[in-house]
A and B are shown apart, each in its own frame.
Chain A
Amino acid sequence: MIEFTTWDILRNLLLAARWTVVLSLVAFTGGAIVGLAILFLRISKGKAARVFASGYIELFQGTPLLMQLFLSFFGLSLLGIEVPAWLAAGIALILWTASFLAEIWRGCVEAIPKGQWEASASLGMGRLQQMRHVILPQALKIAVPPTVGFSVQVVKGTSLTSIIGFTELAKAGQVIANATFAPFTVYGFVALIYFVLCFPLSKSSQFLERKLNVAHRNH
């Protein structure tokens, strides 16, 4: 039997953690872009757009991420579209992230007093102009802490992609645990690496919350 040193285990886990980081970044960036689009639909004046957006949000928040991963991986290949695991994982995570970010941001937009909409409307601004110059700059300030906080969920969510065969931190942990027969050590390290990734995020979320509150300008 081959002997694995602790360093062997840790080194290989850290190499795999790169993919966790990449996948998290992809999911978060893509999710932010799609989420912004969903947000605009969700608060638009057209009823069809609002219904579509809230249906989207309900669907992706109301089903487990695991099922979404299965469906985008196995479902698409059943339809004859071969998707590699990384692509299926990316798509599912982006759509899932978008549904949560859209809803978080909607709350932030709605927290802006109605008077801001009325004042900017009475000055002749159109809806997009109001959003861009008056509402979003104020909503952004409130949105930063919960958005950064949610990014922790995205990082942890990437661990589910191991199920469809994408080799990131959790999957690497499985493989290495099977090879070394040292599951406790291996999964202990896996958990530790996730914690090291997530802890700064949740800390900075708390920090930003305090900082932006101090800077918050009342009217």
Chain B
Amino acid sequence: MSLIEITEVRKSFGDNEVLKGIDLNVEPGEVIAIIGKSGSGKSTLLRCINGLETINAGSIQVAGAQLATDELHLKALRLKVGMIFQGFNLFPHKTAGQNVMLSQMVVKKTPKPEAEAMAKKMLDRVGLGHKFDAYPDELSGGQQQRVAIARALAMQPVALLCDEVTSALDPELVQEVLAVVKELAAEGMTLLMVTHEMRFARDVCSRVVFMHMGRVHEIGPPDEVFGDPKTPELRQFLGAQH
């Protein structure tokens, strides 16, 4: 059984079908890059996996937790899979440390001292142990995104969804976030990332998924997908990148 099983998933917004039957299985420790033009459904797919979008057909399962619409099932699923957003979405009224502590205490009912120790550990892991008491607006975009990663990691998920995590960053801040993601990959974290960083996808990912018009158009190891694209759509997409 795979860690993440996505079977025949369909999703429409009104009349517009954005996912037209997606099948994807992810093994533990895999790092998957999802690439494709905007509007190809890649972000929607990611958001379906942890239930931020409801699906119209098919099924999604992460480590035995099934996607369903009730709060209980959603919570079980979301404890397995964390998500990092393009816009960081840190809680602005809480410090970096409190951001990392909050869901541990509220959702997992972790006692405060333990949550605090975990927050310190996770902030250290992303290189921001010294920013424990800083508010999000006192941090750079790159630092905010790293806090967001620490916040997701503190819930000890089995997989992380990364939705264009560097797209909102100034160019000079991209690397510090990618370095953290790379480290996670090296430590064996299962990652699904929608990304425009092609070089990063090539270097770090075990498989690359090219989405086109709501379908998985091509899938394979990065060498194959980037080195020997089979379809004209992928060739065109890769050509347009440079």
Given that A138-B93, A217-B135, A219-B137 are known contacts, is A123 also in contact with B88, CB under 8 Å in the complex? no
Contacts A119-B89, A134-B91 given; does A125 touch B135 at CB 8 Å: no
B36 within 8 A of A: no
Least CB separation from B82: chain A residue:
A122
B52 touches A122 (CB 8 A): yes
Q: Is the CB of B71 within 8 A of A127?
A: yes
Closest Cβ neighbor of B74 among chain A residues: A121
Which residues of chain B are near A129, meaning CB under 8 Å? 106-107
A123 to B144, CA, bound (A): 16
A126 to B88, CA, bound (A): 20
- Chain A residue contacts of B51, Cβ below 8 A: 121
How far apart are the CA atoms of A219 and B103 in the complex, in Å? Answer: 19
Is B107 in contact with A218, judged by CB distance below 8 angstroms? no
Query: How distant is the Cα of A127 from the Cα of B106 in the complex, in angstroms?
Result: 12
Nearest A residue to B108 via CB reads A124
Q: Is the CB of A115 within 8 A of B75?
A: no
| 124-170 of chain A: CB within 8 A of chain B | 124-127, 129, 133-134, 137-138, 141
* Chain A residues touching B, majority SS: helix
CB pair B71 A123 closer than 8 Å: no
Of A124, A126, A137, A218, the residue contacting B137 (CB under 8 A) is A218
Contact with A along B140-181 (1 / 0, CB 8 A): 000010001001100100000000000000000000000000
Contact B78 A122 (CB under 8 A): yes
Is A120 interfacial (CB 8 A cutoff)?
yes
A137 and B93 form a contact (CB under 8 A): yes
Residues B83 and A133 in contact, CB atoms below 8 Å apart: no
- Pair B71/A126 contact, Cβ less than 8 Å: yes
Residues of A near any B CB (own CB < 8 A)? 113, 115-116, 118-127, 129, 133-134, 137-138, 141, 217-219
Q: Which residues of A contact B71 (CB under 8 A)?
A: 126-127
Q: Are B82 and A115 in contact (CB under 8 A)?
A: no
Q: Which residues of B are in contact with A by a Cβ distance under 8 Å?
A: 50-52, 71, 74-75, 78-79, 82-83, 85, 87-93, 102-103, 106-108, 135-137, 144, 148, 151-152, 155
- Which chain A residue has the least Cβ–Cβ distance from B161? A122
- With CB as the reference atom, state the residue of chain A lying closest to B98: A133
Contact A219 B88 (CB under 8 A): yes
In the complex, the chain B residue whose C-beta lies closest to that of A135 is: B91
User: Please, how many angstroms separate the alpha-carbon atoms of A138 and B91 in the complex?
Assistant: 9
Query: Which of B87, B137, B151 contacts A123, CB < 8 Å?
Result: B151
- B75, A126: Cβ atoms under 8 Å? yes
A17–B103 Cα gap in the complex (Å)? 49
- Using known A-B contacts A124-B79, A124-B107, A125-B106, determine if residue A119 contacts B91 with beta carbons closer than 8 Å: yes
> Which of chain A's residues have a CB closer than 8 A to the CB of B87?
113, 115, 219
CA distance A123 to B71 in the complex (A): 13
Contacts A118-B52, A124-B155 given; indicate if A219 touches B82 (C-beta within 8 A): no
A138 to B82, CA, bound (A): 23
Tell me the minimal C-beta distance from B155 to chain A in angstroms. 6
Residue of B nearest to A127 (CB): B71
- Check A121 against B92 for contact (C-beta < 8 Å): no
